[in-house]
Structure 1
Amino acid sequence: MDQLVTCVSGSENVLRRRDLPSICRLERVDDPLYTFYATQALAMRRASALILNSFEELKAPILFKLGSIFSKIYTIGPLHALSNVRIKDDNPSTLASAKCSHWQEDKRCITWLDSHPSKSVVFVSFGSLVALTCDQMLEFWHGLVNSGKPFLWVIRSDSIVGEDDPSTTLMELEERVKDKGLIVSWAPQEKVLAHSAVGAFLTHSGWNSTLESIYAGVPMICWPAIADQQVNSRCVSGLWRVGFDMKDSCHRSIVEKMVRDLMEDQREELMKSMEVLSKTAQQCVEEGGSSYFNLEKLIEDIKSIHLEKL
C-alpha cells in the first residue's frame, strides 16, 4: 500500500496506494460504483469550465494538467474566506460558516478557549458526517489525555456507531474529560480555528476543514475516513508539509505522539510551511488576489453568456 501511484498527472511523486479514495480499491472493474464515477468523470469533459473551491498557488501542478482539458478554470477559494471578504461585515453572525451550518453551535467553547494560553489547545472535529466506534473514541480520548494538552472536542449526537445507546458512551466521555478538555456537540469552526488559543487541528481532512485550517494557519493531524479525505490528508503531510497524516490507525500511542510532535518537537518546522501557505490563502481572497479576480471574471463571463443568448 506504500507503493507510489505514478499515473495521476500532477501527483506522480506524492500519492501512495493507501492515499487513494475507496473508489480506487474496488475488486472488479465492472463494479456499478466504479462505472458511475468513470461515467461522471468522462462527462466532465463536456463542461465549458470548472469552478473550484481552491486557490491557484495551492494546486498548481494539478491545475496545469486540468488546463489541457478545460479551457476555463475558475479557482475561487477558500470560499468561506472569499465570502467574508465580499460581505465586508465584521458581525460574526454573517460569517460563511454561520450561514451554512446544519448543527446548533455551542458558543460556550469560545469562552472556554479565552481562558487558555496562546497555541495551547488541540481542536478535534471529524466534520458533519464521519462517525466512530466506541473503541475508536476511547483511543482518541486516551491519546489526547496522555499528550497532556488541553483539547476542545466536537462530538455530534450521531458521532458514535455500533452502540445501542450512544448517549451513555458520550456521557461517560464527558465525565472522563472534566479538567482535561471540553466536549461540545458542535462548534463555530471558523471562529475556533481563528482563536489564538488553538495550536492544532485533529481533523477528518474534509476539503472545507482543510481550507479553513490553512487559512487560519493552524497545522493539522489528519485522520481521513471517506472520499477525498484520503488524498487531502496526504497533501497536508507529503505535499504542503503543514501537518501529519494519521490514516489507517488511531491507536492511542500514535495520537499522543502526533499531538506532542505537532505541538512541541516539530512545531517550528511545520509552522514555517503553514505561515507561507496561510499568508498566500489570505492574499488570494483580498481585492487584487487570484481568487478575488477569478470570481470577478466568472461573474463577467456568466453575464456575457447571458447577453449572447438574448
Structure 2
Amino acid sequence: MEEGKGRKIIMFPLPFVGHFNPMIQLARIFHHRGFSVTILHTSFNFPDPSHYPLFTFRTIPHNNAGGEDPMTQPDVSSMDLVAFIRLLRQTYAEPFRQSLAAEVGREKTVCCLVYDAVWVRNTEVAAEELGIRRMVLITQGVASFCAFAALPLLRDKNYLHIQASRLHELVTEVPPLKVKDLPVMETNEPEEFYLIATDMVKGANSSSGVICNTFEDLERLSLMDISSKSQVPIFPIGPFHKHNDNVLPTTKNIEDHVTTNWLNKQEPESVIYVSFGSLADIEEKELLKIAWGLRNSERPFLWVVRPGFVRGTEWLEALPSGFVENIGQKGKFVKWVNQLEVLAHSAVGAFWTHCGWNSTLESICEGVPMICTPCFTDQFVNARYIVDVWRIGIELERTKMDKKEIERVLRSIISKEGDGIREMCSELKERANVCLRKDGSSSKYLDKLVNYVMSFDSNALAS
C-alpha cells in the first residue's frame, strides 16, 4: 500500500502489556498502509526494539535529576495501580513534551500523534504547542468506555459508593450493567481514579478522532452511544490482531513446543485454558481453590501462572507438596504461552479468563467459550457483556469462588450444557471474520481512517 508513503505517525503507548500490544498491532496496520511509525516509549518497561524491526523507538527519559528512575524505587512495587498510574503520568509529563518536540523537529511529515487514552494529560498541551493533531486509541471495549463516560452521572446518583446490599441492582443509566459491574477499582486514591477515568473521556472528546479495537457487529449499540455523544469521528477497525498485517511468523522456543505437544495429545475441545492476564494477582488461598477446583473437575487444563501472580511467592510454592506431580499429564502449569496460538488450538474447549479486552477479543475470534472471573475496572463490564449480551460465557465471581463451584462450572461449560454457548461463539467468530473482509465494516472504517489521517495538515491544530 502506498497511501501513507513519506508520512510519519508518532505513537505513545502506556507501558503495560495489555496497552502496549494493541498499540503495536495498530502500528503494524498503519505501516502496512504505507506510513512510517515512531514509538515514543517510557524508560519504564522499555521494550526490545529488535522484536519490532518495522518501527523506530525513542526512549522518553524520566525526569529525576538524580539519575535513578523513580518508577523502579522499592516502594513503587507496593503501590496500587491507580497510584502507580498517577506517578507514571507525573514522571513523564515534561520529558514527553521534550521528546515529542525533538521528534517533530526531525521530521516535517508528521501526520499525527496516536496515544493511549490514559496519557491525555501528558499529550494535550504538548501536541497543541507543536500543532500536531491527536488521535486517541481506546484499548478497552467501547461498552466499558461508555461506562467510564457515565461515571459523573453515576457519582451524582451515589452509585459509586458501592453498597453490598445493592450489588445485584440493575444500573438503569447504563444497562445491562449491575452495580457490581461498574468499572471501579479498589484503591487508596479513589479521587485519582475518578480523575483518570474522566480525563480519558474528556481527552477523547477533545481529540481529532478515536480509534477502537472492536467491530461494529460486536458493539453496535455502544458505538451508536459514543458517536451520539461525541463530536469527533469514531473508527472501530478491530480486531487489530486479525488484520493480515498482524499475522506474523513466530519463532517458537522449547517451552512453546512442549505446550503444543501437550495440547496435541488432548481430545478436541476438552482443555480448560486458564490465564488471568498480566496485572492481576491473587492470595495463596485463591490459588489453592483454583488448583483443587481444576483437579477435581477431571478436565485437562493448561494454566498460566506467571511469576509473582501469587502474592508473596515466586511461582507454585503455595501448592501442596506433590500436587503438580500427582496431576501428571492431566494438567499443565506454565509461566507464559503464546495465547493466540493456544486459543486457536482445536484441543481448547474453554478459556477461564479475567476478561481483559485483548483476551476477550482473542477468545471471540477463535470461537472459544469463556469462564469469567473479572478482577477490576473494565473487566467487570466485559464479563457482563460476555455472559448476558453475547451469551458466550459463564460467570464465576472471584468473591464466591470455592473448589466445589469451580468444579461445577468447569464441568458444565465443557459438557453438553455448554453447547448453546458454543453455538453463539461460532456465530460471533464468523461475524469477526466477516468484518475484516474487503467490504466488511472494519475494512471500510480502516479506509476512512487512512484517508482521514492523510488529510491532516501537520502544521494545523485540531479544531
Residue 240 (1) aligns with residue 390 (2): yes
> How many Å separate the matches in 2 of 1:182 and 1:73?
42
Give aligned pairs, total. 292
Which of residues 241, 249, 265 is equivalent to 1:80? 241
Question: What's the offset of the Cα at 1:300?
Answer: 1.4
Q: Which amino acid aligns with 1:169?
A: A
Question: What's the offset of the Cα at 1:139?
Answer: 0.6
1:296 paired residue number? 447
> How many Å separate the matches in 2 of 1:21 and 1:307?
36
1:157 paired residue number? 307
> How many Å separate the matches in 1 of 2:383 and 2:292?
22
Question: What's the offset of the Cα at 1:19?
Answer: 0.9
1:56 paired residue number? 216
Cα distance change on mapping 1:7 and 1:286 into 2, 3 Å: same
Question: What's the offset of the Cα at 1:211?
Answer: 0.3
Would the aligned equivalents of 1:124 and 1:153 in 2 still touch at CA under 8 Å?
yes
Would the aligned equivalents of 2:213 and 2:240 in 1 still touch at CA under 8 Å?
yes
Question: What's the offset of the Cα at 1:67?
Answer: 1.1
> How many Å separate the matches in 2 of 1:225 and 1:200?
19
Q: Which amino acid aligns with 1:34?
A: Y
Cα distance change on mapping 1:281 and 1:175 into 2, 3 Å: same
The gaps in structure 2 that reach 5 residues or longer are 1-166
Q: Trace 1:129-140 onto structure 2 (pairs within 5 A).
A: 129-140=279-290
Identity level (%): 35
Residue 179 (1) aligns with residue 297 (2): no
> How many Å separate the matches in 1 of 2:377 and 2:255?
26
Would the aligned equivalents of 2:241 and 2:247 in 1 still touch at CA under 8 Å?
no
2:419 paired residue number? 268
Question: What's the offset of the Cα at 1:261?
Answer: 1.2
Would the aligned equivalents of 1:134 and 1:161 in 2 still touch at CA under 8 Å?
yes
Between 1 and 2, higher relative CO (CA 8 Å, sep ≥ 6) is seen in 1
1:40 paired residue number? 200
Q: Deviations over 1:6-40 (max 9, x none)?
A: 112xxx2x1100111225x8899x82332332243
Question: What's the offset of the Cα at 1:154?
Answer: 0.6
Which of residues 166, 169, 193 is equivalent to 2:318? 169
Q: Trace 1:93-112 onto structure 2 (pairs within 5 A).
A: 93=251, 106-112=256-262
> How many Å separate the matches in 1 of 2:173 and 2:298?
43
Question: What's the offset of the Cα at 1:252?
Answer: 1.0
Larger radius of gyration: 2
Residue 16 (1) aligns with residue 178 (2): yes
More moved, 141-150 vs 167-176 = 167-176
1:119 paired residue number? 269
TM-score normalised per structure 1: 0.86
Would the aligned equivalents of 1:107 and 1:187 in 2 still touch at CA under 8 Å?
no
Question: What's the offset of the Cα at 1:87?
Answer: 5.1
Q: Trace 1:183-262 onto structure 2 (pairs within 5 A).
A: 183-247=333-397, 248-262=399-413
For the aligned residues, what is the CA RMSD?
2.6
- 2:341 partner SS: helix
Would the aligned equivalents of 1:215 and 1:278 in 2 still touch at CA under 8 Å?
yes
> How many Å separate the matches in 1 of 2:343 and 2:238?
17
> How many Å separate the matches in 2 of 1:234 and 1:149?
25
